Amino acid sequence: MIVHVLLGAPGCGKGTQAKRLVEKRSLIHLSTGDILRDAVSKGTEVGLRAKALMASGKLVDDDTVNGLVFARLQDETGDVLFDGYPRTLQQAEALGNFLSLQGIRLGFVIDIFVPEHALENRVVNRRVCSNNSCGAIYHLTSKPPKQDGVCDLCGSPLKHRADDTSEAFQARMVEFNKTFQPLQAFYKGMPLYRSVDGLRAPDEIHTTILELFQEQA
């Protein structure tokens, strides 16, 4: 098993790129945002704790997230792509220890860079498919659905995430700016750390990421 990581700010395109990459490379997509939203919608103990934090743009505590992730990793056998995890230095260190104990290799760490001024528009205008097994991502102007409020792929209603408001976005950026620099510094020295320009079109970014994987094959 190999574990790959996608890093980057809210709205940088981690989710969009993860969806494309897992199809091409047969990876298991583990999004801690999705896992937590699922816990919230099921009303589990973790979900009850996470709900208000997430809606206000705060991070869920490291031990809770690490626990969820390690439990999932123990169930998986294929290669994994993390999206939204690790998000703090503590999570990165805990993951590193877990991987060494289990003899699992860290693969690519792909850091998708988008300058802060471009992020809010992406997040506030993002709409996502409410059917979790589809989870298609739209943008009201740059990638609108064919029919208002309806997913092109599966026909389910689209939703506006509770934390995709302007106010929650600002709070998410505060958290991001507090946690990202040490996290990035931790990974920058790793052999398969790569920074990619996230301001380009999604297709171009996807091609760049695929090329990285192909070069390494």
Task: Provide the minimum distance between the beta carbon of 205 and ligand ADP in the complex, in angstroms, as a whole number.
Answer: 16
Task: Provide the minimum distance between the beta carbon of 18 and ligand ADP in the complex, in angstroms, as a whole number.
Answer: 10
Which of 35/151 has CB closer to ligand ADP?
35
Which of 57/198 has CB closer to ligand ADP?
57
| Residues in region 92-151 near ligand ADP by CB under 6 A | none
**What track of x and - describes contact with ligand ADP for positions 50 through 89 (by CB under 6 A)?**
---xx--xxxx----x------------------xx-x--
Terminal Cα distance for the chain, rounded: 15
Exposed / middle / buried, residue 110 (Cβ in 10 Å: 0-12, 13-18, 19+): buried
Residue 33 in the binding site for ligand ADP (CB under 6 A): yes
Residue 18 in the binding site for ligand ADP (CB under 6 A): no
B/e letters for 122-135, b = 16+ CB within 10 Å, e = fewer, are bbbbbbbbebeeeb
Which of 85/186 has CB closer to ligand ADP?
85
